[in-house]
Amino acid sequence: MSTDTGRALRRDAARNRERLLEAARRLFAERGPDVPLEDVARAAAVSRTTLYRNFATREELAATVFEANVDRIEERAAALLDRPGGAVELFGYVLDMQERDRGIVHVLAGADIAWFKGLAARTTRAFEPLLARGKEAGTVHPEVEAGDVLTALRMAEAATPPHDAPDRERLARRVRAMLHRTLFTGR
């Protein structure tokens, strides 16, 4: 096999993996944590063999999506470092992500606590410089710490009703507004 052919195969494998992650993210959000993995493969336009070659279990697939979300949070935080309202923007970004990817957390209910703590620590570190900048600019309440933001995000996850709940959108907006007022000044 030539080097070019090997690279093309690796690119194809990487594309397939990314398509699987996007399909899983979408289907977990739309249909919940019990969506058949065969449906994920079909939505990604790959074979079941390709799915299982990349992800042996539903939990492994969900964990990879979850870790990719933390990567995105860190990237977004880095892009917001110079903005006085960066912490406010990142908080909204993470809430939107939680809302969109709600089903993933349910798949990971039995995941290793140390793994979750590691991802929580990464998220906390992403918020720290933004909170410091926000306090200087007056957009973040002076007593707020990164751990408070993580607690608020957990509260939002727990307090937001499932997708099919009546009046869900109104309740989700109210939860968001209450948490926002607790952390940020509104400037």
State whether 46 and 66 are in the same domain: no
73-107 per-position pLDDT tens digit? 999 999 999 999 999 999 999 999 888 877 676 66
Tokens 């299982």 belong to residue: 52
Residues with Cβ within 8 Å of 41's Cβ and at least 6 positions away in sequence, in order, are: 20, 23, 47, 48, 50, 51
State whether 94 and 29 are in the same domain: no
User: What global pTM score does this model have?
Assistant: 0.84
Q: What is the DSSP string of 63-122?
A: HHHHHHHHHHHHHHHHHTTT-TTHHHHHHHHHHHHHHHTHHHHHHTTTS-HHHHHHHHHH
Domain boundaries, position 18: 1-56
State whether 124 and 33 are in the same domain: no
24-63 per-position pLDDT tens digit? 989 988 887 788 999 999 999 999 999 999 999 988 998 8
Please give the tally of structural domains in the chain. 2
